[in-house]
């Protein structure tokens, strides 16, 4: 009995390590090992696990040094070495990302939208950012922000395009996402921005250049509109005579109009495109329009274009006139006309009347000294000069020379 028991116990003692051998191999597969080069030499600070590279650096944390591993998004040993050197440089500059689990995209979006820095932006900018980021939230809200890769962004873009969204609108969403990721870099959640490119957009159709007769047809059609009536007609004329942007004109108060100095102060609230106010001098038609509007304006409203909603507060301004303009432009036979075309109308008339580009740029709110005006409207100035030269008459008749075919030479008459 004892002799038979001893071999049985011996076999069980030797069998135990064999039964755990597969588990040891599995654990070994997931463990870190020192990376080696082609000569089987260890590469400092570089480790490998499951075919992926990791950098291991000694950093000071909570008053003592500890080892931290950083996953590297590289495919080759050479790229991994470069990434390690960059991490070491970031360590010297104290720019390493903080330890701990990175937030989800949903949490990062919520924090970004509530940041006080965004409160300084315009209402429309905040609204558009929130709408774009909410679409990303629905697409990949449960992904950690450091896991947002170019492939995820590409998948979002393809989904939006498949739903009929234009490439330009998708690019606006990508701009909002880039702002969020820049904030994540500043907060230390990302080491660098993911590299994703904007979509290629087809060239925008050439904007039409309204003629005075077409402008008049728009104004007449606006006056016939029973909803907007004279307000839309005044608005169209104000844009055409001043070159203001749509929202700049809608935000104007009567306090911004100085009839004594004959000037309009645009953007005192800091809500212009470049957040800077500017001054526009009256021209004859602009002054006549403002005088007529002031005579018809409600005495209890500070706005040039108060809200026309029935029962609304007179202290509120009109937010948009686009719906009424859509009906008006169709009635005028100009279905593709837009509010911005009136800004182009103002600029083109200024160019053809010989006003220098720098003055036009100051009226429009451009800070480039007239470079954009010359780039867009330079051909109008050339045409105007050509027509002016053709109209020029010195009062003396000059006969052109005739060509003598026999002698192959010109001869004067």
Q: pLDDT for 302-356, tens place per residue?
A: 999 998 765 555 578 888 899 899 999 999 999 989 999 999 999 999 988 889 9
Query: What dihedral angle (degrees, nearest 10) is formed by the CA atoms of 237, 240, 244, 246?
Result: 60
Contact criterion met (CB below 8 Å) for 80 and 45: no
pLDDT of res. 170: 94
pLDDT of res. 237: 96
pLDDT of res. 407: 67
Flag whether pLDDT at 204 surpasses 80: no
Residue 304: DSSP 8-state: S
Give how far Cα 172 sits from Cα of 134, 159, 167, 197, Å: 13, 15, 9, 12
Q: pLDDT for 354-402, tens place per residue?
A: 899 999 999 999 988 888 888 888 777 777 777 878 887 787 776 666 6
User: Nearest 5°: CA angle at 317, between 312 and 323?
Assistant: 90
Q: How many Cβ atoms from other residues are within 10 Å of residue 357's Cβ?
A: 22
Query: SS3 of 91, please?
Result: helix
pLDDT of res. 4: 43
Flag whether pLDDT at 6 surpasses 80: no
- What's the chain's length in residues? 413
Instruction: Tell me the average pLDDT across 400-409.
Output: 65
- Looking at 267-338, list the stretches that DSSP marks H as alpha helix, in order from N- to C-terminal side: 284-296, 322-331
Q: How many Cβ atoms from other residues are within 10 Å of residue 393's Cβ?
A: 6
Assign 103 a pLDDT band (cuts: 50, 70, 90).
Answer: confident
Distant-in-sequence contacts of 119-126, Cβ < 8 A, 24+ apart: 122/271, 124/247
Query: SS3 of 35, please?
Result: strand
**HSE on the CB side for 172, CA within 13 Å?**
13
Q: How far apart (Å, rounded) are the C-alpha atoms in residues 160 and 158?
A: 5
Flag whether pLDDT at 156 surpasses 60: yes
pLDDT of res. 362: 92
């Amino acid at each position: 009995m004892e002799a038979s028991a001893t071999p049985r116990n011996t076999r069980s003692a030797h069998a135990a390590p064999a039964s755990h051998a597969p588990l040891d191999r599995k654990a070994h597969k997931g463990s870190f090992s020192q990376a080696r080069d082609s000569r089987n030499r260890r590469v400092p600070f570089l480790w490998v696990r499951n075919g992926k590279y990791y950098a291991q650096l000694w950093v000071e944390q909570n008053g003592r040094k500890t080892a931290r591993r950083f996953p590297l998004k590289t495919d080759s040993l050479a790229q991994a070495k470069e990434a390690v050197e960059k991490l070491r440089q970031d360590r010297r500059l104290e720019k390493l990302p903080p330890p701990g689990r990175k937030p989800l995209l949903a949490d990062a979006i919520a924090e970004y939208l509530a940041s006080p820095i965004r409160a300084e932006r315009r209402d429309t900018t905040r609204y558009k950012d929130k709408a774009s980021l909410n679409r990303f939230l629905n697409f990949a809200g449960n992904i950690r922000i450091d896991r947002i890769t170019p492939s995820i962004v590409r998948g979002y873009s393809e989904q939006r395009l498949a739903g009929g969204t234009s490439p330009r609108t998708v690019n606006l969403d990508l701009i909002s996402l880039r702002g969020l990721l820049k904030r994540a870099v500043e907060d230390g959640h990302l080491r660098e921005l993911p590299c994703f490119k904007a979509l290629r957009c087809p060239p925008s159709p050439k904007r039409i250049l309204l003629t005075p007769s077409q402008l008049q047809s728009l104004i007449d059609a606006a006056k016939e509109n029973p909803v907007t009536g004279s307000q839309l007609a005044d608005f169209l004329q104000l844009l055409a005579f001043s070159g203001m942007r749509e929202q700049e004109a809608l935000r104007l108060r009567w306090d911004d109009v100085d009839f004594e100095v004959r000037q309009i102060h645009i953007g005192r609230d800091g809500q212009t495109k470049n957040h800077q106010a500017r001054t526009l001098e009256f021209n004859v038609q602009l002054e006549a329009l403002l005088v007529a509007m002031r005579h018809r304006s409600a005495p209890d409203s500070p706005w040039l274009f108060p809200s026309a909603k029935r029962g609304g507060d007179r202290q509120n301004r009109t937010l948009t006139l686009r719906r009424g303009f859509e009906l008006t432009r169709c009635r005028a036979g100009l279905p593709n006309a837009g509010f911005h075309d009136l800004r182009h109308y103002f600029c083109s008339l200024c160019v053809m009347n010989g006003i220098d580009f720098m003055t036009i740029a100051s009226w429009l709110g451009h800070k480039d000294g007239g470079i954009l005006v010359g780039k867009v409207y330079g051909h109008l100035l050339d045409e105007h000069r050509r027509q002016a030269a053709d109209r020029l008459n010195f009062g003396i008749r000059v006969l052109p020379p005739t060509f003598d075919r026999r002698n192959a030479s010109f001869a004067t008459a």
